[in-house]
Structure 1
Amino acid sequence: MEFTRFNLPMEWEERWRREKEQRRRAIEDRGQEGIEQDNRELRSIVAFNDSRMGLTSGRGKKEGSEDRRSGSEEGIEDTSGDEGIGEVHTYRSETYPNEIFKALKEFWDSSLLTDLTLTTHNGKSFNVHSIILAAISSFIQQRLRDGNGERIQNDDDQRWAVSLSPEVDLVGLKAVLEFAYTGAVLSCNKESRTSIVAAAQILDIPRLLEFCNEEERTKEGRSPKKEERKISALEQMKITLQSIEKLWVDRVGCNVILEVGGAVLHVHRVILAASSEYFRGMFTCGMRESHQTRISLPFLLASELDVLISCSYNGMLPLSWDCVFEMTCTALQLQFQPALSLCLNFLQQEMEASSCLDVASFAEAYEMTELLEEANDFVLRNFWEVSVTPKFQDLPAEKLLDIIRCDDLCVPSELAVFRAVISWVEADPEERWSQAGLLMSGVRFPLMTFREFREVRAINLRIECFGNKEVELYGSALKEFGFSLPETQDQCRVRHPKDALVVVGGDQLNPDGCQRIPNKELWFANSLRSGTGLVKAMEWRRLGEMPDKPKFRHGVAAMVGRLYVIGGCFYYTKDDIMRSAYSYDPVQDSWKRLADMQEFRSNFSVVVQEGCLYAIGGDKEINTNVDSVEVYNPDTDFWSFVQPLDQSLSGHAATVLDGAIFISGGFNCKYTCLVSMFLYHPERGTTYLSDMTHDRAQHCMEPLRGHLYVAGGVRNLGTFYTDQPACEVYDPVADSWTAFASLPVPHVGAASVVLEEKIFVLGGYCQDDYSESGLIHRFEPITQRWETMGKLPGAVTDIRACLLRLPQHFRL
């Protein structure tokens, strides 16, 4: 029975073969010394980038371990060549230990690829995987290293056996195997504990002994010390997988050699089969390779297979744009599903203007629907940035027309679409001027202003001056510009972001301006509309009402598909501050009352970190703010205090960037506006960073592209407050601040979100005259400008906002 290769799309197959041949020729030209130098450089680049990111190397081995795996034969070639591999990011799957051990247990239950027979004193036998037992048992590992097990005669799979001493009975051995494959022992109780401990002692399994001791302490009601915290089953499997990886690095128990491009790779069959459908079929479906100890794979690159094998042992993959497409091809070809998932995560999360069109072509060639949808959507929402890249000039005319005809196209004005088409045509005018007329049918000329339309006429005159009189764009464009109605649905650009911008609560003046009205409504932005010129609008829909009382100066966050609304005020007197908490499930369209906070809070901040909510500072009563911070665990429905701030604070802004909580400005205990910026850690407390250039409170701060953008709020002006229009951005690497465009109007007590890589500031008021406009402004980082996006539908002051994925029936 022959093993069938995965069929690749023709264009990628040809490219793959061509590059493989080029690399092999480079190896022959440069010799072994050059290859080893490349490998050293690759390891140093990966180590540098990973240390900078706080990660361990995705190649999962120590310096020199590569030589131990490949023996004295030819080394492993490098994929980077002389051009370098670009910036390397190590992607990690936190669930990988659970996934691979699930597959390993299935193999064990089916007696697939087992190579060790354990026999008890009374003759009971169990077939297991030696590498799994060796990872937890020093007794088995030593015999595997020394080769002291009893070989089974006439066995092509090189099986071996170990006879156990009488102290290891059936109960104890079953518990050992359960622990090896699942990280836990469900059968550990008072009756079985003696047998389990005896087996763990004979087989030298210290982690199982500690597990039994912890179980005993728990059942006796004794609380373990902090350093004796019970290790979860997932953590146990992580430790076991690390032990397996160490055995692989030391070439202990490796039972198959893969010959790839002159290099040899020593691996464990069962690990390859558990992480790759290709190798599972090769080793378990009766093929001749299932009995071979040396297998040739001439159609692969050793460098790529080496990295994929390493991922099989640790769930980590170092990736860069220079290698990700080839790595994805190989992972797909060999059906390394864990590695393929990491490659797809990289392609989605690291996508940028210069690479999105390549990602779209790749996804289309391989029929990866989800990735293709992500890439196409990236092109639509970043069209202006994409249109100035070299890849844009290579688009087929049909693809370009599909893009510019799409309603979801996001551009500052229709003039940007016209300019993009002209730049595409002028990249190859002889071939493309004939297609200009068709492409112009995708430009919505009625959305242009008179001033913008002048450029269309100027471009047409330039074309005529260069002798292209047969190309006449102006007449048809003028007809469409002058006689079409821009208000019609098919003329406006109407974009529907995947995540809905939800605004919650707030308050506002009643129509006669003599009374403030707290609000309990929820609204969401269903679509963003681009009209004539720079005219923008948002389509708002009512989502419902909060239970209980109205809220303003409250906390809002989204976590795991649910909306959380916490604390705040329901009116303006001393006793009107709340500590209640609610969650909203959009799938069920229902609210749930949660445990109250420990502290009354308004004018505070809420952030999400590692699956928990943090309520930070705030006012507990009128003119009295606090330094306390408390965390909400949704699994236990409980709030608990953590390390406090080093001073009382309210009206501040807090957000999370790269897993760290940053807090800026706010009022101190004397209600003076601050310039401070600091990191907050729930256990270590406050670490101060560089101060802002301007003092501010009741402002907005949002993370975008690795920076923190601060906008709006109030500032001190002698003995009173005034508006703070200045905006600034913080670079956490340089620990420095830089000014950016000031807000067009004051936004005090406004809400803010980042939607599709743009910052939205919503509502608020003007401190100088207390007027309310309800305007929404959006900051475009490419143009460094604020643009008006229309008005809020309801309350405008002290509102809060977040992004929430809503069921489709809300959006129809």
Structure 2
Amino acid sequence: MTDEEKGLETSIDVLIISSDDSIVETEEAESPQDENFRCSDHAERSLQRMENCLQNQQLTDVVLCVGERRISAHRLVLSACSEYFAAMFSSGLRESFQTEIELQDIDPDCLQELVHYCYTGCLDLKEETVELMLATSSLLQIPQVTDACSKFLEKRLHPSNCIGIALFADTQNCPCLLEKAHNFTTEHFMEVIGNQEFLQLDANSFAKLLASYELNVPNEEDVVNALITWAKFAPETRQENISKLLENVKLSLLSPSFIVDHIESEPLFSHDPKCNELIMEAMKYHLLPERRSISSARSRPRKSTVGKLCAVGGIDASKGANSIELYDLRANKWSPFANMSGQRLQFGVAQLGDKILVVGGRDGLKTMSIVESFDFVTKTWSSLPNMATPRHGLGVGVLGGPLYAVGGHDGWSYLNSVERWDPQTKDWNYVAPMTSQRSTVGVAVLGDRLYAVGGRDGSVCLQSVECYDPYTNKWIPCAPMAKQRGGAGVVAMNGCLYVCGGHAAPASYPSVARLECCERYDPKTDSWSPVAPMSVGRDGVGVCVLGDKLMAVGGYDGTQYLDLVEAYDPLANTWSLMAPMNMKRASTCTIVI
């Protein structure tokens, strides 16, 4: 390179093109480098130029004809926004070369607005035309507009229009809008059935609603009443579908009196042979409980009718969790509900009517005999007669009306004594004692018997199980569990006992292992069998049945208190994680209200 060339190289000025196309000269660069230039508003400015060309009818190369309406445009712009036009203009078919193209079954006003959108990216959505705009954009395959129209409709869902929007979304193949509309309908079902759209609902769509476990109803009786109202709106055409719809009602969960008074006597159902079969199946469910099938869809409750899971008190890191929180299965969410009247640990809980009874426990080191009642409606506490014996680590159960307080520890010794409280006379009386002393005992009612499962007697955790027969006032030994268990969760479900977790040695031992394994007891064969284990070994786990699932709540894993909640599906023999509690706690008492 010559000296002259070198001089030229070092004296080149750097030019920057500004957004208004002016050229700005910078200071002379000492050491020039390659540069990458990008105009930030290039795409917007280019489209503005194209829109100006469209308005001035310059360089347009296609005319879209809809009836008498003629809409000019540029093929390239339409193809860039619409897969429909992109395929049309690049397919090699005659439309690729025609300057005028006839379009059928398209609203001309919507087409005009969508052509304008292709140039500007802007569109005014209006309630009176949004469905037509969605249908047109769906046909022309402009997904951004289709999505915007769907979101517009989602925001305006109402009990009076949600069924119509769901049907429209189905015809337009808009799965997200269909799901949102269907979910809105199930959530607000009791409001929806009061609107005209519900009465005009077709049988297939109504069957889909009735089949949903998400249907938000206070009880299954309301579902039956809605079905009768719908059928009687046009009985001459809807009678033929009545059995198909009744199949999706949870008939087995209706009371026998309701089945007899409102279903069996209803001509809509009584004149249909298939409906009579369904009615008979439901009556057998009540008359022959030992033959119940856990796989029947008509005996699986909806999420809204299973009630709320209630976690009462327990032990936390501060050694005193006195709060009560509720779990909503539909929302999969825990929320604070109330507080206990004071600190109490290792108590028992049972439900009588709309009240929770909290029995015994200990306040710090002192073991208590007191019994309190909590009213769910008023959220108030009241005192009931004390037990004869102070007890903590006891188990409680309601069998045939009376409440039983089983075993526990009185502050000095492990107990085998059992007391029974009569809600009519308000008196406590002793019944036959157990054959073994049991504290942290699992208690459950199965059939017409009260079962005491495991626990510890001070030296060891127990494998033994016994059941109480109230007619003979005797405790009868049952087959022992496969594992020694103290502090296990015990519950009756589907004609069997389920035992979850616990520990296999006295809890005071520092190296005690917490169990994740679970067992099931079948009283017909007097035998135990293993079921799927929980995800974490824990004792002090609260268990109860919520709908068709067994819920395991909280516990202690040997190092920390848990907010962990798992649900067991007896059909699949699997556990699944649910929303955790708001507070980490063990020995919480769980019931369903």
What TM-score does the superposition give when structure 1 sets the normalisation length? 0.38
Partners of 1:772 and 1:617 lie apart in 2 by 25
Q: CA deviation at 1:782?
A: 2.5
Aligned in 2, Cα 1:621/1:759: closer, same or farther, shift over 3 Å?
same
**Equivalent position SS for 2:349:** strand
Q: Which amino acid aligns with 1:752?
A: V
Q: CA deviation at 1:676?
A: 1.0
Aligned in 2, Cα 1:15/1:606: closer, same or farther, shift over 3 Å?
same
Q: Which amino acid aligns with 1:735?
A: D
Corresponding position of 1:597: 387
Partners of 1:351 and 1:696 lie apart in 2 by 30
Aligned in 2, Cα 1:688/1:353: closer, same or farther, shift over 3 Å?
closer
Corresponding position of 2:469: 681
2:522 matched to 1:522? no
**Equivalent position SS for 1:773:** coil
Structure 1, residues 89-121: CA drift from partner, whole Å, max 9, x if none? xx988xx9xx9xxxxxxxxxxxxxxxxxxxxxx
Corresponding position of 1:737: 528
Structure 1, residues 68-92: CA drift from partner, whole Å, max 9, x if none? xxxxxxxxxxxxxxxxxxxxxxx98
Is the Cα contact below 8 Å between 1:505 and 1:795 reproduced in 2? Answer: no
Corresponding position of 2:454: 665
Q: Which amino acid aligns with 1:674?
A: L
Q: CA deviation at 1:725?
A: 2.3
Instruction: Pick one of 319, 337, 360 that aligns with 1:543.
Output: 337
Corresponding position of 1:241: none
Structure 1, residues 200-227: CA drift from partner, whole Å, max 9, x if none? xxxxxxxxxxxxxxxxxxxxxxxxxxxx
Is the Cα contact below 8 Å between 2:501 and 2:515 reproduced in 1? Answer: yes
Is the Cα contact below 8 Å between 2:448 and 2:469 reproduced in 1? Answer: no
Q: CA deviation at 1:630?
A: 0.7
Q: For 1:382-531, list aligned pairs within 5 A.
A: 496=304, 498-509=306-317, 516-529=318-331
Corresponding position of 2:539: 748
Is the Cα contact below 8 Å between 1:518 and 1:570 reproduced in 2? Answer: no
Q: For 1:175-194, list aligned pairs within 5 A.
A: none
Structure 1, residues 553-572: CA drift from partner, whole Å, max 9, x if none? 1001112121111111121x
Q: Which amino acid aligns with 2:349?
A: V
Partners of 1:587 and 1:652 lie apart in 2 by 31
2:585 matched to 1:796? yes
Corresponding position of 1:763: 554
Aligned in 2, Cα 1:699/1:798: closer, same or farther, shift over 3 Å?
same
Structure 1, residues 641-686: CA drift from partner, whole Å, max 9, x if none? 1111122111111101122212211112x43111112211244321
Is the Cα contact below 8 Å between 1:628 and 1:643 reproduced in 2? Answer: yes
Structure 1, residues 713-750: CA drift from partner, whole Å, max 9, x if none? 00039994322222111111111111112221122112
Is the Cα contact below 8 Å between 1:645 and 1:686 reproduced in 2? Answer: yes
Corresponding position of 1:557: 350
**Equivalent position SS for 2:369:** strand
Aligned in 2, Cα 1:346/1:13: closer, same or farther, shift over 3 Å?
farther
What TM-score does the superposition give when structure 2 sets the normalisation length? 0.51
Structure 1, residues 489-517: CA drift from partner, whole Å, max 9, x if none? xxxxxxx55411111111211xxxxxx33
2:430 matched to 1:637? no
Structure 1, residues 309-351: CA drift from partner, whole Å, max 9, x if none? xxxxxxxxxxxx99644769xxxxxxxxxxxx96896799968
Aligned in 2, Cα 1:684/1:527: closer, same or farther, shift over 3 Å?
closer
Q: Greater helix percent: which structure?
A: 1
Q: CA deviation at 1:636?
A: 1.9
CA RMSD of aligned residues (A): 4.1
Aligned in 2, Cα 1:11/1:729: closer, same or farther, shift over 3 Å?
farther
Is the Cα contact below 8 Å between 2:456 and 2:506 reproduced in 1? Answer: no
Aligned residues: 344
Q: CA deviation at 1:612?
A: 1.5
Structure 1, residues 17-65: CA drift from partner, whole Å, max 9, x if none? xxxxxxxxxxxxxxxxxxxxxxxxxxxxxxxxxxxxxxxxxxxxxxxxx
Corresponding position of 2:109: none
Q: Which amino acid aligns with 2:566?
A: H
Partners of 1:728 and 1:630 lie apart in 2 by 28
Structure 1, residues 591-649: CA drift from partner, whole Å, max 9, x if none? 21100111100001000111111100000015x11111111112222211111112211
Aligned in 2, Cα 1:10/1:692: closer, same or farther, shift over 3 Å?
farther
Q: For 1:263-412, list aligned pairs within 5 A.
A: 324-325=277-278, 353-354=295-296, 356=298, 378=302
Aligned in 2, Cα 1:277/1:794: closer, same or farther, shift over 3 Å?
closer
Q: CA deviation at 1:790?
A: 3.4
Structure 2 unaligned runs (5+)?
1-231, 243-254
Partners of 1:726 and 1:526 lie apart in 2 by 27
Partners of 1:610 and 1:326 lie apart in 2 by 28
Partners of 2:508 and 2:402 lie apart in 1 by 39
Partners of 1:658 and 1:277 lie apart in 2 by 33
Q: CA deviation at 1:587?
A: 2.0
Partners of 1:756 and 1:300 lie apart in 2 by 32
Corresponding position of 1:156: none
Partners of 2:483 and 2:285 lie apart in 1 by 42
**Equivalent position SS for 1:688:** strand
2:495 matched to 1:706? yes
Structure 1, residues 244-293: CA drift from partner, whole Å, max 9, x if none? xxxxxxxxxxxxxxxxxxxxxxxxxxxxxxx9999xxxxxxxxxxxxxxx
Is the Cα contact below 8 Å between 2:294 and 2:571 reproduced in 1? Answer: no
Structure 1 unaligned runs (5+)?
1-6, 17-90, 100-274, 279-298, 305-320, 329-340, 357-373, 382-495, 510-515, 530-537, 805-812
Is the Cα contact below 8 Å between 1:617 and 1:629 reproduced in 2? Answer: yes
Partners of 1:661 and 1:653 lie apart in 2 by 11
Q: CA deviation at 1:14?
A: 7.7
Q: CA deviation at 1:771?
A: 2.1
Aligned in 2, Cα 1:762/1:680: closer, same or farther, shift over 3 Å?
same
Aligned in 2, Cα 1:678/1:794: closer, same or farther, shift over 3 Å?
same
Instruction: Pick one of 608, 611, 619 that aligns with 2:401.
Output: 611
Partners of 2:405 and 2:541 lie apart in 1 by 18
**Equivalent position SS for 1:703:** strand
Is the Cα contact below 8 Å between 1:506 and 1:795 reproduced in 2? Answer: no
Partners of 2:394 and 2:278 lie apart in 1 by 46
Stretch deviating more after TM superposition (653-662 or 347-356): 347-356
2:479 matched to 1:690? yes
**Equivalent position SS for 2:575:** strand
Aligned in 2, Cα 1:719/1:592: closer, same or farther, shift over 3 Å?
closer
2:438 matched to 1:649? yes
Instruction: Pick one of 356, 374, 377 that aligns with 1:584.
Output: 374
